[in-house]
Structure 1
Amino acid sequence: MASYIEDYALLSDMNTGALVSRAGSIDWFCAPRFDSGAVFAALLGERDNGRWLLAPLESMNPTPVEEIRIERSYRENTFVLQTVWSVGDASVRVTDFMPLAAGTSIVRNVEGLTGEVTMYNEIAMRFDNGKTQPWVTRYDGAPDANGNTNPEESMLVGMAGPHALVFRGDAMPDGEPDQHAGTFTVTAGQNYVFTLSYFASNQNPPAPIDYPTALNYAQEQWREWSGLYVDEVPETPEAPAEVPAVEENTHYGDGEDVDTNRIAQVEAPATDVSVDSNSIAVTREVETEVLEPSTNTTSFEIDAATYEEFAQTSVNPIVEQEEDDAAFEAELREARLRSLLVLRAMISRETGGLVASVTTSLPEVLGGKRNWDHRFAWLRDVAMAMDVTLAHGHERETAQLRNWLLRALANNPYNLHAVYGVAGEKDDLDRRLALAGYEGAQPVRSGNGSHSYFQGDALGQVLATFANLRRHGVGEDHLSWPLQQALLNSAVEKIGSEDRSIWEMAGEPHIFTHSQAMLWAAFDAGVTAVTEHGMTGDAQAWAEARDRVAEEILERGYNEELNSFVQTYDGVHVDASLLQLAQIGFVAWDDPRMVGTVERIEDELMHESGLIYRYINRDSIDGFEGQDNPHFGASLWLAEQYLRSGRAEDGKRVLRTVLALSNDLGLLSASYDFEAQRMTGNFPHIIPHIALIRAVEAV
């Protein structure tokens, strides 16, 4: 079985990602793109569905002879993972990363620190999400004049149809039909480097990777991104208290000024830097897992069941503690920076598309059916991410996201989809994969059926973000404004339309207040484009549409008796999407109607932990039985609302809870199961990380 979700670390090359468990197993890796078929799919199945395990042999002993300690961290401001294994008095450091260069590869380096440790190395190559077992051939290199081969030229090549993998290493594992495995012993000062690279089977295997060069460049590129970190982002301007006379959208704070001459720059500069291989920069308090030694000192064999039990051992308990202000501020800064790095990790440097997650079908409820493929790009997510990259001075990434957005919209702005492929393509299929599922959760999906759902929030978010770009001096071009005009014209026909909400509920459609409010934001963006930025268009018609939507929201989406906005027109319940009404400037953060809405959200949606559910699943409104788990992203929206409306301590309390529940590397999934004390949903998930950035900036 796979490890707990929170026990995974993310590796990324900004085109795809891999998940490494605390137990040393890479259980998920899609190549060459985020949405490609998985090469390692043990996360959603069994070890036979593909994985790469690299760990001390002793860690798989049913009764370890020596005490085993595990400490891991990312090198400062990077996605270079370092795991220190201590086996008794001996120790090794495993460095895992994905090179940020041409091709798709994973590099793993084992460095002896003290004493002597025997390592176990097992790789099971697969393609097509664990379904296809490739034909694997070992090549030992050309013999020299004396007939000897160079062990450094040895490689394993696995091939099946269009796909191929090449594995190289300083200690090659032995071959079996379905996997290759072996052991090697590392002493202090020794290094063993292993690489796995994907390539098209009609091409020759790529050249061997030079470990120091690849590591140096990867670290430099991650730090170049985090080096643009803007510590202080100016506060978001307050929205007018009256509706519909709102002149400016307040969803977006004014960030650093943007050099519009650089907005089209997309290539990262190559920089030579030196790396101190002995330096371990810990960016987060390290959590340590200890396996106690056994009194049984007899020899042992690898026990798969015991290893899987070890892989399932979580070391992330719920923490309840109050930090002093200085320590809390440092923790917030670190969390925001890691979230910014997660954002960069999930933007394709090839296409500019932002995926919601690197995984599919990790269940929102353990053992349940709320399982979705989030390796796709939602218009809403891309637009929200663009606001963040713009505010933090990341002009290159802002340009990438903007250009992706335009290409996706060009599919047909009059028939807007909520979600597109990594390159902006439509994906009309929702397939089922023949995998056992994470802890048996079914179905396992490839593809996302929500493409066909109209979502008013997507349309509004996109147009509001383009308004934000204009406020920062980013001009329109021959493509961008005509597409926005088409969206605005199509939005007129959507006033009062039913949809499935921001949550993509599979039940019956309704007129959701949040969706209509996002249409209001779209029309408001169109009006300001004409009146403040000199764009062409029918500002009067859009202003009339904006005011009409506002009036309908106040008449049918606001319940005076409850003093609260409501989830659906003429309804009496709330959902977490209503927290965005202040974010988009429909009402002020401290408007009495917004304050009343927050009170209803606290009454209806709040878990005893202080986190909130997205909605209460009354009458199976989402198409499923039962209730899902408290949602990290929605809870962080509540934290921001608290902070910006004067309830600072309440906001900080929610932030403390979320940070305590993030994993030891600062990563968040979609939701949290408090009964099981485990993360749930796809991992890592972009919405909580974007919401965390916003909430921290409100402190």
Structure 2
Amino acid sequence: MDERYPPIAEHGLVGDLQTAALVSSRGVIDWFAAPRFDSPSIFAALLDVERGGYFQLAPEQPGLSCKQLYYPDTAVLVTRFMSPDGVGEVVDYMPPDRTGTATDRHTLVRVVRVVRGTVAFTLRCRPRFDYGRAEHELDLGPDGALFRAPGISAHLQSTFPLERDGRDVRGTVTLKAGEIGSAVFTVCDPGGAAPPPLTIDGITERSWDVVHFWKTWLRTSRYRGRWPELVHRSAITLKLLIYAPTGAMVAAPTMGLPEQVGGERNWDYRYTWIRDGSLSVRALMDLGFVDEAAAFVHWLVARLHEREGNGGEPLQTMYRVDGDPNLPEQTLEHFEGYQGSYPVRAGNRAADQLQLDIYGEAVYALAQGREIGRRATYSGWKALTRTLDWLADAWDRPDEGIWETRGGRKDFTYSRVMTWAAFDRGLRLADVFRKPADTVTWTRTRDAIFEQIMERGWSESEKAFVQQYGGDLLDASLLLMPRVGFIAPEDPAWLSTLDAMDRTLVSDSLVYRYDPAASPDGLRGSEGTFSLCTFLYVDATARAGRLPLARYAFEKMQTYANHVGLFAEEIGPSGEQLGNFPQAFTHLSLIMAATTLDAALDLEEGR
């Protein structure tokens, strides 16, 4: 293992609700893109330690012990450095957007302080704009450093002296117990106004203001279950992944982190998937965050409106956070990739795939709660009915499926289950809100899909519902079947499917999404267990009444969280976190599993 690259899990996340940064437990910001999640990177040492750029603020001495934690109930990250000479801390945060207006100005605040003894901190700021492809100029003066690159600039201010290091800067400061310093990195348009002068009093006031913001937001949570710290950390993480100006949630703030170290499954997740965002609505609603859920639904309805009268499919699988459907995929040839995991891809050509399940998740989101229903407009309803009318003619087609396989279109069972859910929820909405719709066609289509799944999605040899028609491979996406109401959670056919998954996909309570060696997905290599699927397994086993197993799996999964409660996409063979980090899908499914398990345990205990 190349020790220049920290483990993926050795990071915390900070953000301002328009973009985000990763901070390693060694005090290095090694991933940051601005002005948006899906913008080119400024710091990307996590993808190429030599070419990517980074911002280090930490002691440089042997024998250091490093710890990281969040200030309770906030997105303010504290990295602690313990040495024989003293204990120092770096506090990282980004002032959150409170306007809901897109801006090109974003600020990373880094506060250094010493709580015991004496500690010397070293600053190294090496931005590499446009994924390390753009050269920059440096102006260094008494007010700090100004980095200027085509189309973007960045100011670095500090309360201690900075010096030139080629086209980069460095600085050192030695503090004693009770002393504080700071370094602030502000990204803006070329020629943007310099930030106001940096003062310790101003930084202290700003820090407590950010703490207050997060604590006030979290107080609206109505979760009162057994795992408040875990659930609330997931809620804060989901909030950090929402682009406030539009309400769209990115799948992860990172790109290119591998599902297998050295492998090719290295995708760009900084976009809004219809599937992920729609399922997040239920998780947010369960916790009482109605405004965030409604904002995504508003964004979703806007996407339905955009293609009216243009023919073709009403939705594509993913979009940029502002709704732009253009996500051309390119390989960053100059990046070696995390631990040599090449290629590094920017953009995502899976946006052009046909994934019919997204219509089920979309309507599932629109059906979540009367509060969202009360905000619905007539034009939004018409967009929904046009979509379901289109789907009534289009549902019985092979597609690339939920896992975005690149091995050709198949008749995936999960895709059919979610098209069934689209019509089932559409019919419910038409009834509850007394809205006009072609309910006769919708009912006939829903029932036809159900019959087809029962006849062709079942494997008699496996005694289970399977990944695709005519096959015998299991697929963990089908764990959502009872949650969406396709089948009763204690139906014998479903219990038999759970048993088959236990035998084939479950490893020490962790769940593979499918067997990549047996399921041709068009890619080389293998992958770890899928954390989303593990939490879906908890949800499904709890619904099936297998509570000891469900709780044990949930409690065991918590041991795979990183030191600050975050999860990547996958868990590797040695318990390491793999894939883009942190992943929204994992955290929203954690919330879903926790609330389902809480309700089942309450019922069992007679609460």
- 76, 90, 96: which one aligns with 1:94: 90
For residues 371 and 69 of structure 2, the distance between their equivalents in structure 1, rounded to whole angstroms, comes to 39
- Corresponding residue of 2:492: 592
| Other structure's SS at 1:11 match | strand
- Corresponding residue of 1:174: 163
The Cα shift of 1:495 comes to 2.5
- Corresponding residue of 1:523: 423
- 530, 535, 538: which one aligns with 1:639: 538
Q: Percent identity?
A: 30
Contact 2:355/2:399 (CA < 8 Å) preserved in 1? yes
| Other structure's SS at 1:688 match | helix
| Other structure's SS at 2:23 match | strand
- 178, 183, 189: which one aligns with 1:189: 178
Deviations 1:625-672 (CA, angstroms, capped at 9, x unpaired): 232111111011001111121111111221122210110100000001
- Corresponding residue of 2:71: 75
| Other structure's SS at 1:338 match | helix
- 476, 483, 507: which one aligns with 2:376: 476
The Cα shift of 1:333 comes to 2.0
- Corresponding residue of 1:409: 304
The Cα shift of 1:524 comes to 1.0
- 105, 108, 130: which one aligns with 1:106: 108
The Cα shift of 1:155 comes to 1.3
For residues 447 and 364 of structure 2, the distance between their equivalents in structure 1, rounded to whole angstroms, comes to 16
Which letter maps to 2:266? N
Contact 1:27/1:40 (CA < 8 Å) preserved in 2? yes
- 226, 237, 240: which one aligns with 1:342: 237
For residues 169 and 237 of structure 2, the distance between their equivalents in structure 1, rounded to whole angstroms, comes to 32
**Distance change in 2, residues 1:470/1:549 (3 Å):** farther
Deviations 1:389-435 (CA, angstroms, capped at 9, x unpaired): 22222222123212211222223265220101011110241011131
For residues 179 and 354 of structure 2, the distance between their equivalents in structure 1, rounded to whole angstroms, comes to 58
- 17, 21, 36: which one aligns with 2:20: 17
Which letter maps to 2:581? F
The answer as to 2:25 corresponding to 1:46 is no
Contact 2:137/2:167 (CA < 8 Å) preserved in 1? no
Which letter maps to 2:337? G
For residues 52 and 502 of structure 2, the distance between their equivalents in structure 1, rounded to whole angstroms, comes to 44
Which letter maps to 1:162? G
| Other structure's SS at 1:5 match | coil
The Cα shift of 1:216 comes to 2.2
- Corresponding residue of 2:604: none
For residues 197 and 304 of structure 2, the distance between their equivalents in structure 1, rounded to whole angstroms, comes to 40
**Distance change in 2, residues 1:470/1:570 (3 Å):** farther
The answer as to 2:7 corresponding to 1:4 is yes
For residues 395 and 208 of structure 1, the distance between their equivalents in structure 2, rounded to whole angstroms, comes to 38
The answer as to 2:256 corresponding to 1:361 is yes
- Corresponding residue of 1:399: 294
The Cα shift of 1:136 comes to 0.7
The Cα shift of 1:82 comes to 1.0
Contact 1:630/1:673 (CA < 8 Å) preserved in 2? yes
- 601, 614, 622: which one aligns with 2:521: 622
For residues 419 and 339 of structure 1, the distance between their equivalents in structure 2, rounded to whole angstroms, comes to 22
> Which consecutive segments of 4 or more residues in structure 1 shift more than 4 A?
470-473
Contact 2:253/2:581 (CA < 8 Å) preserved in 1? yes
For residues 422 and 334 of structure 1, the distance between their equivalents in structure 2, rounded to whole angstroms, comes to 29
Worse-superposed segment, 184-193 or 558-567? 558-567
The Cα shift of 1:620 comes to 5.3
- 560, 578, 582: which one aligns with 1:684: 582
The Cα shift of 1:99 comes to 1.1
The Cα shift of 1:500 comes to 1.1
Alignment of 1:259-658 (within 5 A): 329=226, 332-412=227-307, 414-415=312-313, 416-433=315-332, 434-470=334-370, 473-607=373-507, 609-619=508-518, 621-658=520-557
Deviations 1:76-135 (CA, angstroms, capped at 9, x unpaired): 111101122111041112111111247311111111212111111111022101222310
For residues 113 and 565 of structure 1, the distance between their equivalents in structure 2, rounded to whole angstroms, comes to 58
The Cα shift of 1:613 comes to 0.6
| Other structure's SS at 1:39 match | strand
For residues 35 and 253 of structure 2, the distance between their equivalents in structure 1, rounded to whole angstroms, comes to 12
Deviations 1:286-318 (CA, angstroms, capped at 9, x unpaired): xxxxxxxxxxxxxxxxxxxxxxxxxxxxxxxxx
The Cα shift of 1:619 comes to 4.9
Which letter maps to 1:223? K
For residues 51 and 516 of structure 2, the distance between their equivalents in structure 1, rounded to whole angstroms, comes to 37
The Cα shift of 1:476 comes to 2.5
For residues 634 and 158 of structure 1, the distance between their equivalents in structure 2, rounded to whole angstroms, comes to 43
For residues 116 and 430 of structure 2, the distance between their equivalents in structure 1, rounded to whole angstroms, comes to 68
The Cα shift of 1:623 comes to 0.7
Contact 1:408/1:425 (CA < 8 Å) preserved in 2? no
- Corresponding residue of 1:698: 596
Structure with greater contact order relative to length (CA < 8 Å, sep ≥ 6): 1
For residues 10 and 20 of structure 1, the distance between their equivalents in structure 2, rounded to whole angstroms, comes to 6
Contact 1:352/1:423 (CA < 8 Å) preserved in 2? no
- Corresponding residue of 1:245: none
The Cα shift of 1:340 comes to 0.7
- Corresponding residue of 2:119: 117
Which letter maps to 2:223? D
**Distance change in 2, residues 1:93/1:345 (3 Å):** same
- 200, 203, 218: which one aligns with 2:210: 218
* Count of residue pairs brought into register by the alignment: 580
Contact 1:79/1:222 (CA < 8 Å) preserved in 2? yes
For residues 79 and 228 of structure 2, the distance between their equivalents in structure 1, rounded to whole angstroms, comes to 23
- Corresponding residue of 1:673: 572
The Cα shift of 1:47 comes to 4.1
Contact 2:31/2:42 (CA < 8 Å) preserved in 1? yes
| Other structure's SS at 2:248 match | coil
The Cα shift of 1:472 comes to 6.2
The Cα shift of 1:213 comes to 3.0
Which letter maps to 2:322? A
Which letter maps to 1:424? G
**Distance change in 2, residues 1:351/1:674 (3 Å):** same
- Corresponding residue of 2:219: 227
The Cα shift of 1:203 comes to 2.4
Which letter maps to 2:513? R
For residues 642 and 220 of structure 1, the distance between their equivalents in structure 2, rounded to whole angstroms, comes to 38
Contact 2:43/2:54 (CA < 8 Å) preserved in 1? yes
For residues 517 and 89 of structure 2, the distance between their equivalents in structure 1, rounded to whole angstroms, comes to 50
| Other structure's SS at 2:368 match | helix
The Cα shift of 1:208 comes to 4.0
The Cα shift of 1:475 comes to 4.3
Unpaired segments of 5 or more residues in structure 1?
59-63, 141-153, 234-328
For residues 534 and 117 of structure 1, the distance between their equivalents in structure 2, rounded to whole angstroms, comes to 67
For residues 382 and 115 of structure 2, the distance between their equivalents in structure 1, rounded to whole angstroms, comes to 61
| Other structure's SS at 1:228 match | coil
For residues 495 and 167 of structure 1, the distance between their equivalents in structure 2, rounded to whole angstroms, comes to 54
For residues 88 and 439 of structure 1, the distance between their equivalents in structure 2, rounded to whole angstroms, comes to 32
Which has the larger Rg?
1
Deviations 1:127-160 (CA, angstroms, capped at 9, x unpaired): 10122231010122xxxxxxxxxxxxx2100001
Using structure 2 for the length normalisation, give the TM-score: 0.93
For residues 13 and 317 of structure 2, the distance between their equivalents in structure 1, rounded to whole angstroms, comes to 26
For residues 57 and 465 of structure 1, the distance between their equivalents in structure 2, rounded to whole angstroms, comes to 49
The Cα shift of 1:452 comes to 0.9
| Other structure's SS at 2:481 match | helix
Contact 2:51/2:335 (CA < 8 Å) preserved in 1? no
Unpaired segments of 5 or more residues in structure 2?
98-102, 598-607
Worse-superposed segment, 80-89 or 27-36? 80-89
The Cα shift of 1:492 comes to 1.3
For residues 573 and 470 of structure 1, the distance between their equivalents in structure 2, rounded to whole angstroms, comes to 39
